Amino acid sequence: MPVDNLVMGSLALLLVPLIGWRIYRGLRDGRLPLYRTYVERGAGSRFGVLFVLHAVSLLLVGTIAADLLLGLGLKERL
């Protein structure tokens, strides 16, 4: 396993709990961070769209981390 895959995979793996914490706090408090402001749950569809974007980023970063650390070969398949 190349060292760069190990380093980048580890960095991506460190991002997964941070993104998950943002999602958890957003559901608990009813607001998600967006740059220097927050989108409140009462904002309607904007909150839902931002929540879905956070969830997709969590899945993508987790998949990238798993691919780099475990050598799943997803990059070569695409």
In this prediction, residue 74 carries a pLDDT of: 83
Q: What is the DSSP string of 16-68?
A: HHHHHHHHHHHHHHSEEEETTEEEEGGGTHHHHHHHHHHHHHHHHHHHHHHHH
Neighbours of 2 (CB within 10 A): 9
Whether 24 is covered by a domain: the verdict is yes
Domain that residue 6 falls in: 1-41
In a domain, 30, yes or no: yes
Q: What pLDDT score was predicted for residue 33?
A: 87
Q: What is the pLDDT along the chain (78 residues), one digit of tens a residue?
A: 789 889 999 999 999 999 999 999 999 999 988 888 889 988 778 999 999 999 999 999 999 999 999 988 887 887
Domain count, the chain: 1
Other Cβ atoms less than 10 A from the Cβ of 23: the count is 15
Q: Is residue 53 part of a domain?
A: no
Is 21 a domain residue? yes
Helix (H, G, I), strand (E, B) or coil at 73: coil
pTM score: 0.85
Q: How many residues does the chain have?
A: 78
